[in-house]
Structure 1
């Protein structure tokens, strides 16, 4: 079943933290936790906001939602307010998954900008009895306004069943990336994803365009390549760390992929 905007808004859990002014040059916003998004209000000035590896033109009155990787930093002549925002559906999905980020809204002159934002700053600084409840109410209003402006044109978001399946497959990829050297089997991975072996393999290929073990092989070789380039770690140690039972097996697979064996590859760095 799909969800409309109104249905989604009735079931979200809002969390808003560390909302504060940023006006010192090169002041960096705090890093996000999983599920959080950067919320930025441009209080005064005009310029280019440094966010992640790039820059974004901004001016007073704008509200922005930035993905976690685009941590903003203050710049001369621009006064910001920044907070970490999350909006989680009952099934664990983030509401911000359903429209593209960054998202920008011009709120100059609106009561949202002249009233809600200053009140958020005051309550965040006060942090006294009742502040958390007030901050949550104001954050819900912010989320509603921003999400309504960015909501998909068809008015619906993907069903929880489909999203949950994609999340389970995504956890397998996360596991590969965190621990590529672990010994994996298709049956074991299917069990971790809560699917049968056949369904798991089919869904994984549909979503990622390759089989789970093919992806794992590629991740292992990529990590081995990085270790060969960046360290003097013995090749036998690299092969063991990447899950290969023998140095010779690792060297053969590496040469099949790169056209040279690990020693030759390392000598060219």
Structure 2
């Protein structure tokens, strides 16, 4: 018989003041639209399968299975999938902390071709499982998994955690924002969002407006209009098709909202900004 005994000592690691806002798993499909956007919180982006690129306003970097991206608050970004090797990825919204490399004073995006990728993939998968099933203690389990992920990343990538003020977006508002960003083309009402967050819809709308400066419906229309502008500039799709694909109930309503926002009709905007005419 052999026996090894290891004692656990106290460390001087300061307690991480972090909280999990959401967990999601996304997979590339043909209706995928990639738009630059920002978050008021840190996001972890882990590629479970596939390949593509991660784009910022001024640069683009290739990504593949096992890569992990740490996106600090307010950094514009989006992902683009390879059609031949579709992206599938986990996203974690994290409040309370961001990260800097030990040898840098500023921390833009951090790319990690991480070791032990199966270990991280299992942790992300377990968090998603707990959130989906929402059984007793799910939030605590996910919080503990999150701290394990962060500590392993700090250790492996030589990162310094930097506290950020927590007076930003609540967990529920972050959930709404993430949902609107991903599902703007669907039919969405205040009742949809209230049911999803288990909040009174009037309190929910007030809270979201306080954090973002826009009501949920105003924010939804803004996301739809941003995507419509991209389609008007980069495609030959008809105005009616663009209206439908971006979630507007009719072409006339789309034109009305578009003119109010940009001062011109969608057709006039296309004539002025179309990239296809320049090619």
TM-score (norm 1): 0.48
User: Hey, which of these two has a bigger chunk of helix by percent?
Assistant: 1
